[in-house]
Amino acid sequence: MSLEKTATIAANPSTTRGLSVHLSYDPRTNRIAYASGKSIFLRSVDDPSKCAQYTRHKAATTVATFSPSGYYVASGDESGIVRVWDCASDDLILKGEYPILSGRINAIAWDADSKRIIAVGDGKERYGHCFTYDSGNTVGEISGHTSQVNAVAIRPCRPYRAATVSDDAGLVFYQGPPFKFAQSVRGKHTNFVRDVKFSPSGGHVVSVGADRSIVLYEGKTGQFERQISNAHDGGIFAVDWCDEKSFVTCSADSTVRLWSVDSPKKPEKTWKMGSKTTANQLLGVVRTKDYVIALNLSGDLYYFDDSSESAVKTVFAHQKSITALSVLADRVFTGSYDGRILAWDSQGKQGKLVQGDDAHTNLVVGICPVAKDRLVSAAWDDTVASIDASALHVSRLASLEEQPIQIAASEGFFAVITESKVAVHSSDGKIACELKLAFTPSAVAISKSYVVVSDSATFKSHVYDKNLKPASGKDLKPMRGKPSFAKISPDENFLAVGDSNGKIFCYNLSSGELVTSRWAFHTSRITSISWNEDNDHVIASSLDTNLIVYSVSKPVRNVKAMNTHKEGVSGVEWIGPNRAVSVGADACLKFWDVVFK
Amino acid sequence: MSRSGVGVSDDALEAFNDLKLGKKYKYIIYKISDDKTKIIVDKTSTDPSYDKFLEELPENDCKYAVYDFEYELGQGEGKRNKIVFFQWSPDTASIRSKMVYASSKDALRRALNGVSSDIQGTDFSEVAYDSVLEKVSRGAGSH
């Protein structure tokens, strides 16, 4: 048997309100680099389903920048560490790890030789540092700011210059290398300055800020050239040059504007988002070969080009850890920590947003199919919603009195467990029957004729019939730890229950006897179990980041995939007899081919 | 050292010598006799499959076992054989049985000379091929 990864669907960039996001572009491979969660993603612009994931940061990542040569990426994190690694090979080998600051790294810039790096951010004793990429030797110092530095740029041709901008409303110009303070420009911006960039031939520098103005400087001397006030109706977050004479800016007013250096009175072009909402504040922009790509607060990437005023393409994905997974026919549905639900085709090429006025606002506990074209989901906003799989629309189905712990569904009805009870609902949301429990449940499973509820204190699973009457003669042996997930096989012969220590017990559901306790290879909480349609193989996911395929007929054989999702796998499902999909805390989807022997 | 007073039967030692010197068996499974006075041979086998051996370990009862573990060194350095001693006490076994097996282990273990590694198994992941291989190939003189 073997378990092979066939595809990874990347998470979208992490965003924080009021903080700009620096996206980096490599024209050689036509990829963008960005930070998300604790990972860095390198993602193809033309085919966003292709990506490379770098997972070696220990803290939440903040920024990633390609070297001009395209061979290396420098990435920074919240703890002030910069890692330089090889992005040309698939192994993503580390070149060097440098502790630069005591706080967040906000931006990183490379010089044109791909030899020197300036990393800036928030620290206690300094706000930035210049060093060589391979040995970390100091090649200058960043000084002259009194508050955290938001962005840095290095002139892409000789003589090298550098510019940094900061929350203190000033821009500092450096000469070098080694980079040394040359002059500071103050009094032009009146609020936080968010981004700075040199033009491709080094003729100009542009800075943008929260005061809605754009300031242009001469590239070699740093002399002030001109200012565009009120360039947007909201604070400006990012800027990128298209060519030597024009650049694009993005702003909290949900627009991207193209400006010309020669006629800066008004924008050459304005691209608009659908609506001007907080979620649509644009925090990052990057110019690629064919498109201008902008990032909004909810983490979606919008592609703009000359043909249209609105986005020609939108890339949706999760930003926060994925907590729920379901497969319906050949489609995959995922729900995340922030309440967002997405629908994917089974190849995972494209994610579509499931929308509606009653969309979840908090952690999605579970998504389960109840009919051929409909799913139900429960979330920590204490509601159960119905998802129309073809229209991709959510509507409220039921409100719960307590926070849901788990939801499970079978054809036409579903069960929800809360702190004190278990309730079976029909597919229209009405409660068919409910049972007050004497214990706190920790897992629920449902099939055509059974409902199984696990006790979090005695570790025992109780079997009920569909009307929640205890089924006779089914006294299941208690687990060794708190049951965390339960699943009944499609033919109702077996019940697999996983516990918080990583052990899985497989019971015979008709006799109530233990079939095997040999499925003990996970080392942490079981988060999900899925039965193959052959009623023999199960695939299980766990917090220990591993996926394991077990078999009922050959309980001593198993096949593992280690380190699949950083920070734990949260769900796994079969998509067909030989394919599976998994989701995890890194907000990624991964597809697997399973070969049985 | 507390002792349970359980002794080792001559058959048990003979079987071990057959495995070690005569290479007659692949593995031997021992158990404590029903009257709790002696460690006796439960089963011997020549089946080379390690999975088969794992299937012989019961889910709810303790056992001792000796397995003639064979592994490749890689890089064409050939094969090695190590005799491995297992104390199998699954989490799911009764407490009484786990106690008797733990306190009688020494009696059997000291009677067997030439065992290179000891494996204590409480669940199946601890006696899996990979776990045992790692332990065996790490030991002194393993290559």
| ipTM metric | 0.78
**A560-580 tens-digit pLDDT:** 999 999 999 999 999 999 999
Percent of chain A scored above 90 by pLDDT? 88
The DSSP symbol for B132 reads: H
Whether B116 is covered by a domain: the verdict is yes
Here the CATH number for the domain that contains residue B109 is 3.40.20.10
Helix (H, G, I), strand (E, B) or coil at B50: helix
User: Could you tell me the residue ranges of all domains in chain A?
Assistant: 2-10+20-315
Whether B143 is covered by a domain: the verdict is no
Indicate if the alpha-carbon torsion angle B8, B14, B19, B20 is positive or negative.
positive
The predicted structure's pLDDT at residue A400: 93
A16 vs A125, residue with greater confidence: A16
The predicted structure's pLDDT at residue A92: 93
Do the chains contact at A480 and B55, CB–CB below 8 Å? Answer: no
Contacts of B128 in chain A (CB under 8 A): 521
**Residues in chain A whose beta carbon is closer than 8 A to a beta carbon of chain B?**
477, 480, 503, 514, 516-521, 523, 554, 556-557
Do the chains contact at B90 and A517, CB–CB below 8 Å? Answer: yes
Contacts of A523 in chain B (CB under 8 A): 125
Whole-angstrom CA distances from A70 to A66, A67, A118 are 6, 5, 17
Give the one of B54, B90, B123 whose C-beta lies nearest to A556's C-beta: B54
Whole-angstrom CA distances from A402 to A102, A152, A364, A368, A379 are 42, 49, 14, 19, 11
Give the one of A503, A519, A556 whose C-beta lies nearest to B55's C-beta: A556
**A201-221 tens-digit pLDDT:** 999 999 999 999 999 999 999
Do the chains contact at A520 and B59, CB–CB below 8 Å? Answer: no
**A413-427 tens-digit pLDDT:** 999 999 999 999 999
DSSP string, A271-307: EE-SS--GGG-EEEEEE-SS-EEEEETT--EEEE-TT
Helix (H, G, I), strand (E, B) or coil at A47: coil
The domain of B13 spans 7-136
pLDDT band at B138 (very low <50, low <70, confident <90, very high): confident
The predicted structure's pLDDT at residue B2: 55
Rounded mean pLDDT, A99-114: 95
- Total domains present in chain B: 1
Contact A457, A440 (CB under 8 A): yes
Give the one of B51, B59, B128 whose C-beta lies nearest to A516's C-beta: B59
Q: What does the alpha-carbon distance between residue A560 and residue A582 come to, in Å, rounded to a whole number?
A: 13
Helix (H, G, I), strand (E, B) or coil at A591: strand
**B125 lies within 8 A of chain A by CB:** yes
- Asked which of A32-41, A135-144, A314-323, B73-82 is least confident by mean pLDDT, the reply is B73-82
Residue A473 — left, alpha, or beta (φ > 0 → left; ψ -120 to 50 → alpha)? left
Instruction: Provide the shortest C-alpha distance from residue B22 to chain A (in Å).
Output: 29
Do the chains contact at B128 and A521, CB–CB below 8 Å? Answer: yes
* Residue B1 pLDDT exceeds 60: no
The predicted structure's pLDDT at residue A231: 93
Contacts of A556 in chain B (CB under 8 A): 51, 54-55, 124
Q: Which helix (H) or strand (E) holds B134?
A: helix B129-138
**B90 lies within 8 A of chain A by CB:** yes
Contacts of B90 in chain A (CB under 8 A): 517
Instruction: Provide the shortest C-alpha distance from residue B117 to chain A (in Å).
Output: 22
Give the one of B51, B55, B123 whose C-beta lies nearest to A520's C-beta: B123
Contacts of B123 in chain A (CB under 8 A): 503, 517, 520
Rounded mean pLDDT, B110-134: 90
Q: Which helix (H) or strand (E) holds B55?
A: helix B50-56
Instruction: Provide the shortest C-alpha distance from residue A295 to chain B (in Å).
Output: 46
- What is the interface size between A and B, counted as CB pairs within 8 Å? 28
* Residue B143 pLDDT exceeds 60: no
Do the chains contact at A517 and B128, CB–CB below 8 Å? Answer: no
Contact A106, A149 (CB under 8 A): yes
* Residue B141 pLDDT exceeds 60: no
Rounded mean pLDDT, A529-537: 95
**A238-274 tens-digit pLDDT:** 999 999 999 999 999 999 999 999 887 889 999 998 8
Q: What does the alpha-carbon distance between residue A133 and residue A82 come to, in Å, rounded to a whole number?
A: 10
* Residue B140 pLDDT exceeds 70: no
By C-alpha distance, which of A523, A486, A490, A526 is closest to A507?
A: A486
The predicted structure's pLDDT at residue B3: 65
Best to test chain B binding among A460, A518, A519 (most B CBs inside 10 Å)? A518
The predicted structure's pLDDT at residue A329: 84
Whether B2 is covered by a domain: the verdict is no
**A375: its two tokens:** 């799913």
Residues linked to residue A540 through DSSP beta bridges, in sequence order: A529, A548
Q: What does the alpha-carbon distance between residue A265 and residue A229 come to, in Å, rounded to a whole number?
A: 9
pLDDT band at B142 (very low <50, low <70, confident <90, very high): low
**B128 lies within 8 A of chain A by CB:** yes
The predicted structure's pLDDT at residue A346: 77
DSSP string, B80-121: EEEEEEEEE--TTS-HHHHHHHHHHHHHHHHH-----EEEEE
* Residue B139 pLDDT exceeds 90: no
**B123 lies within 8 A of chain A by CB:** yes
* Closest Cα in chain A to B125: A521
* Residue A596 pLDDT exceeds 70: yes
**B48-95 tens-digit pLDDT:** 889 899 989 998 899 999 999 988 887 777 888 899 999 999 988 899
Residues linked to residue A455 through DSSP beta bridges, in sequence order: A441
Contacts of A562 in chain B (CB under 8 A): none
Contacts of B92 in chain A (CB under 8 A): 477, 480, 517
Whole-angstrom CA distances from A225 to A205, A229, A231 are 9, 13, 16
**B91 lies within 8 A of chain A by CB:** yes
* Closest Cα in chain B to A517: B59
Contact A516, A506 (CB under 8 A): yes
CATH topology of domain A2-10+20-315: Methylamine Dehydrogenase; Chain H (2.130.10)
Whole-angstrom CA distances from A513 to A85, A450, A493, A589 are 53, 16, 11, 36
**A509: its two tokens:** 């559901």
Contacts of B125 in chain A (CB under 8 A): 520-521, 523
Do the chains contact at B59 and A480, CB–CB below 8 Å? Answer: no
Mean confidence (pLDDT) of chain A: 93
* Residue A428 pLDDT exceeds 80: yes
Instruction: Provide the shortest C-alpha distance from residue B50 to chain A (in Å).
Output: 10
The DSSP symbol for B51 reads: H
Instruction: Provide the shortest C-alpha distance from residue B94 to chain A (in Å).
Output: 13
**B54 lies within 8 A of chain A by CB:** yes
Best to test chain A binding among B53, B91, B98, B123 (most A CBs inside 10 Å)? B123
